[in-house]
Amino acid sequence: MSEQKVDTRLWSSKARNLSPYVPGEQPQHANLCKLNTNENPFPPSPKVGEAIANVLEQQAYDLRLYPAPESDDLRASLAELYNLDINEVFVGNGSDEVLALVFASFFLKERPVLAPDISYSFYPVYAQTFGVELVQIALEDDFSIDPDAYRQPCSGIIIANPNAPTGLLLSLADIRKLASEHSNSVIVIDEAYIDFACIDETNSSTQVSAVSLINEFDNILVTQTFSKSRSLAGLRVGMAFGNASLIEALTRMKNSFNSYPLDKLAQAGATASVLDNDYFEQTRQQVIDLRKSLTTQLTTLGYQVLPSHANFVFARPKDGNASAVAAKLREQGIIVRHFDKPRIQEYLRITVGTQAQHERLIDALTAMQTYSEDSETISNMG
Amino acid sequence: MSEQKVDTRLWSSKARNLSPYVPGEQPQHANLCKLNTNENPFPPSPKVGEAIANVLEQQAYDLRLYPAPESDDLRASLAELYNLDINEVFVGNGSDEVLALVFASFFLKERPVLAPDISYSFYPVYAQTFGVELVQIALEDDFSIDPDAYRQPCSGIIIANPNAPTGLLLSLADIRKLASEHSNSVIVIDEAYIDFACIDETNSSTQVSAVSLINEFDNILVTQTFSKSRSLAGLRVGMAFGNASLIEALTRMKNSFNSYPLDKLAQAGATASVLDNDYFEQTRQQVIDLRKSLTTQLTTLGYQVLPSHANFVFARPKDGNASAVAAKLREQGIIVRHFDKPRIQEYLRITVGTQAQHERLIDALTAMQTYSEDSETISNMG
């Protein structure tokens, strides 16, 4: 429905004033090299499909029954994984739903919520949806987050860590500082990509997640997702970890909106994913390794690549012509994400893919440079 | 977490003031006769399990990818079923989520929304969640809805039809009247149970759904669910039908809250359910037949049973001691729903179950009466 034809006569003013989130496109063409929405190049654990098939075989009759409203088994498995109490764990229909409930539960106050000016573009949308004032704090010139810039009265702070689309990581020391300085505000750390982060790339078990801080700070809430490191974007499961009183607020808000957001199959599949930790560790290390090799290849081509802790890289072609490069890649069926926004319009966000996808991407970028640089063209012909 | 221990220091006032919806309990004991949450006694179409198994076999790798955000295949199947345009169809994570988006999209205005005083108990919760004023209009003495009682300024009207927990049906003529008299308000007909309704019990195809009115009235929005007549409460799928401009408002609201509420498996399973119309017609007729026999049996036991168009009956024991009866049934593992509210506290809402469940229920109720009525006890001993 085109914009000018919409009849909004019967809409609430809230509906009229929305600027909905625009997700990365999901084209369905064959042979596409899809590096635009940060999906995992590897399939989910085979245990996921087995668990769901088992529900279908053993309990198909029970699909007629409502699912467990609080997803108890799934929450128990996550509590065990992170050594938390089950009352410190909340799950929802993707971390997007969890984040929406977070805005309504903690940020709807007199004071504004603070967020980086360059970050997940759904944050300003949630603020609009729930009537929350959002103040954007500028990233530093190197795209890093300076905790001192957040020293102002606020209802809360929300930071994607690693941040998107930059991929940069905020240290636990900085998160502690934010939580200490804002003890009456909820500090939400959106860790959609945290499982790909590591301080020491040779040792992925180094502690980087703020989940390790929630027993120390009652005002830190951590959100995560099954869509990235667990390869289950198609199953819609996200979670939050925090003090039991924060989780209770989210639970009440959920039960005032939609009591059963996770269907039986999603609960079974997600639980199986959590229990198969070997597979999880193996594939996330593979993604980290692939990110490293992609970074090297792009750097060799003259790209400036930010040090990424996510399953994507944020890279600037040496001429800064990111928009043109994205368009040319698209002609060849290679989709990357370009944001036409101040400060980042010269960058491309490229999802870490398979080795084969990287080869196709690098070949295309190499051919582009060969074609555009006369001297190289001549030497290649010579 | 018990009420008195909750630390609400960091909550928004919205979170503090919520009175969340309390769904019917989902006890997990074996040999329970569960007649309390209006689930279908029959399993879903076998095509549902086949479709989901097929996704797991053919496309397990693709669970790593986000699902179709607007559930295009599912919406196309529903559009074809009801002879609508796909732009007149919306789907969500159960009709509860759809209804929440309805409140935010259409009822958040200066004037209040109107709803029957005895109806789905989630409506006042949504109103509170979204800051909507809700005015409850009293049902008539016979629990019927009088459209004339709704003749007052309002943002919209929401009516469950058939109504819950009464099971009574509002005629299409009355719905036309409401829509005509409130042409600047959205009239939402919540048809969670409509597939069990029929004017003529010998002919279940008689038209009762307001879906037949949406091309005539641009202010009628109809919501339905897969949880009842399609035996898929465990899959969380609901839908709305209405003028394309109403559907556009819901779509924008959804995309300002959660872009992908339906996972890949739920989309595939729900689509398969819609396509298997033979199974649907067969099981809904079986439920209608079982409702008829249950009504007869309860009437024979002296119960006053309202004429139900849903997959439950609303029945008053002859002594009006509904609460005591529910408690005694529970001792025997038979769970029915009792609402401790004015006007309806003498009634029980009993879900239509299987023939075997009905026998167990009727046996228990008969024994209760035999035990409590001395004269019958003596004659049985004699």
Return the pLDDT at A206: 63
Architecture of domain B27-44+278-376: Alpha-Beta Complex (3.90)
pLDDT band per the 50, 70, 90 thresholds, residue A51: very high
In this prediction, residue A23 carries a pLDDT of 80
Contact B347, B315 (CB under 8 A): yes
Beta strands B220-225 and B238-241 are: antiparallel
pLDDT at A375 over 70: no
In chain B, what are the domain boundaries? 27-44+278-376, 46-275
Closest residue to A11, CB basis, from B68, B93, B249: B249
User: Chain B partners of A20 at a C-beta cutoff of 8 Å?
Assistant: 251-252, 254-256
CA distance B61 to chain A (A): 5
Instruction: pLDDT band for B24, please (50, 70, 90 cuts).
Output: confident
- Do B108 and A39 lie within an 8 Å CB cutoff? no
Return the axis-axis angle of helices A277-300 and A264-275, rounded to nearest 10°.
Answer: 80
Minimal Cβ distance to B18: which of A63, A235, A256: A256
Distance in Å, alpha carbon of A253 to nearest chain B alpha carbon: 6
Residue of A8, A11, A38, A107 to mutate when probing chain B, most B C-beta within 10 A: A11
Beta carbons of B108 and A13 less than 8 Å apart: yes
Question: Across the interface, do B14 and A186 touch by the CB < 8 Å criterion?
Answer: no
pLDDT-derived band of residue B201, with 50, 70 and 90 as boundaries?
Answer: low
Tell me the average pLDDT of chain A: 93
Integer Cα distance of B160 and B123 in angstroms:
10
Going by C-beta distance under 8 Å and a sequence separation of 6 or more, which residues neighbour residue B141?
A: none
- Taking the C-alpha atoms of residue A19 and residue A38, their distance in angstroms, rounded to an integer, is 23
pLDDT band at B377 (very low <50, low <70, confident <90, very high): very low
**Averaged pLDDT score across all residues of chain B:** 93
Query: What is the widest separation between alpha-carbon atoms in chain B?
Result: 73
Percent of chain A at pLDDT > 70 equals: 94
Helix-helix angle A322-331:A355-372, to 10 degrees: 110
Assigned fold of A25-40+278-381: Aspartate Aminotransferase, domain 1 (3.90.1150)
Cα atoms in the 13 Å half-sphere on the side-chain side of A146 = 10
CB atoms within 10 A of CB B200: 9
Helix (H) or strand (E) holding A240: strand A238-241
* Of A271-275, A371-375, B218-222, the least confident: A371-375
Cβ contact (<8 Å) for B235 and A264? yes
Do residues A6 and B249 lie in contact, with contact meaning Cβ atoms separated by under 8 Å? no
Measure CB to CB from residue B255 to each of A21, A265, A269 and give the nearest one.
Answer: A21
What is the SS3 assignment for B113-178? EEEECCCCCHHHHHHHHHCCCEEEECCCCCCCCCHHHHCCCCCEEEEECCCCCCCCCCCHHHHHHH
Cα A210 from Cα A220, distance rounded (Å): 8
How far, in Å, CA of A35 to CA of A354, rounded?
A: 10
Banded model confidence at residue B1, pLDDT cuts 50, 70, 90: very low
Amino acid at A204: S
Q: Which residue in the set A10, A12, A256 is minimally distant from B219, CB to CB?
A: A10
Instruction: Count H helices and E strands in chain B, helices first.
Output: 12, 12
Omega before A116 within 30 of 0, i.e. cis: no
Inspect the interface and report whether the beta carbons of B259 and A232 lie closer than 8 Å.
no
- Residue-wise pLDDT for B272-286, tens only, equals 999 999 999 999 999
- The amino acid sitting at A250 is L
Count of A-B CB contacts under 8 Å = 294
Those residues whose C-beta lies under 8 Å from the C-beta of residue A378, and which sit 6 or more positions away, are none
Model pLDDT, residue B373: 60
Output A360 or B206, whichever has higher pLDDT: A360
Say whether B63 and A231 touch across the interface (CB within 8 A).
Answer: yes
Query: Rounded CA gap, A95 and A143, in Å?
Result: 24
What's the whole-number mean pLDDT along residues A233-239?
A: 98
Q: Check A65 against B260: CB less than 8 A apart.
A: no
- By the 8 A CB rule, do A119 and A189 touch? no
Which residues of chain B does A48 touch, with a Cβ-Cβ cutoff of 8 Å?
Answer: 60, 63
Q: How far is residue A221's CA from residue A105's CA, in Å, rounded to a whole number?
A: 12
Residues A335, A25 contacting (CB under 8 angstroms): yes
Cβ distance B62 to A248 less than 8 Å, yes or no, reads no
A192 with A224: CB under 8 angstroms? yes
User: Per-residue pLDDT for B80 more than 70?
Assistant: yes
Which CATH number is B46-275 given?
A: 3.40.640.10
Check: CB of residue A316 under 8 Å from CB of residue A304.
Answer: yes
Confidence of residue A345 (pLDDT cuts 50, 70, 90): very high
| Alpha carbons within 13 A on the beta-carbon side of B334 | 22
Residue of A64, A88, A99 to mutate when probing chain B, most B C-beta within 10 A: A64
Q: What's the order of all strands across the beta sheet hosting A238-241?
A: A89-92, A238-241, A220-225, A186-190, A156-160, A113-116, A134-137
For residue B378, pLDDT over 60 is answered with no
Q: What mean pLDDT do residues A197-209 have? A: 72
For the segment A138-154, what is each residue's pLDDT rounded down to a tens digit?
999 999 999 999 999 99
pLDDT interval class at B202 (50, 70, 90): low
Average pLDDT of the segment spanning A31-39:
93
Chosen from B4, B5, B7, B10 to mutate, greatest number of chain A CBs within 10 A: B10
Question: What pLDDT score does A98 carry?
Answer: 98
User: Cβ separation of A155 and B94 shorter than 8 Å?
Assistant: no
Amino acid at A64: R
Are A6 and B227 a contacting pair at CB < 8 A?
Answer: no
User: What is the band of A382 on the pLDDT scale with cuts at 50, 70, 90?
Assistant: very low
Report, as an integer, the average pLDDT of A201-229: 88
**Residue of chain B nearest A58, judged by CA positions:** B49
B382: confidence class by pLDDT, cuts 50, 70, 90: very low
In A, which residues are within 8 Å of B96 by CB distance? Answer: 257-260
pLDDT of residue B25: 76
> Tens digits of per-residue pLDDT, B137-180?
999 999 999 999 999 999 999 999 999 999 999 999 999 999 99
Q: Are B60 and A49 within 8 A, CB to CB? A: yes
**Which site among B63, B128, B253 would you substitute to test the A interface, given the most A Cβ atoms closer than 10 Å to its Cβ?**
B63
Q: What is the ipTM of this complex?
A: 0.94
Question: Is the confidence at residue A254, as pLDDT, over 50?
Answer: yes
Least Cα distance to A34 among A330, A328, A367 occurs for A330
Tell which of B91, B103, B257 to mutate to test the A interface (max A CBs under 10 Å). B257
Pair of tokens at residue A175: 């998160």
pLDDT digits (tens, 9 = 90+) for B120-142: 999 999 999 999 999 999 999 99
On the question of pLDDT at B375 being above 70, the answer is: no
Q: What angle do CA B267, B269, B270 make, to 5 degrees?
A: 65
Angle at alpha carbon of residue B238, lines to B237 and B240, rounded to 5°: 150
Q: What is the tens place of the pLDDT at every residue in B244-275?
A: 999 999 999 999 999 999 999 999 999 999 99
pLDDT higher than 70, residue B225: yes
Interchain pair B233, A64: CB under 8 A: yes
B66·A13 Cβ contact <8 A: no
| Residue A27 pLDDT exceeds 60 | yes
B57 CB neighbour count, 10 Å cutoff: 10
What mean pLDDT comes out for the span A255-279?
97
Q: Does B94 sit within 8 Å of A258, measured CB to CB?
A: yes
Average pLDDT over residues B10-25: 89
What's the pLDDT band for A29 if we cut at 50, 70, 90? confident
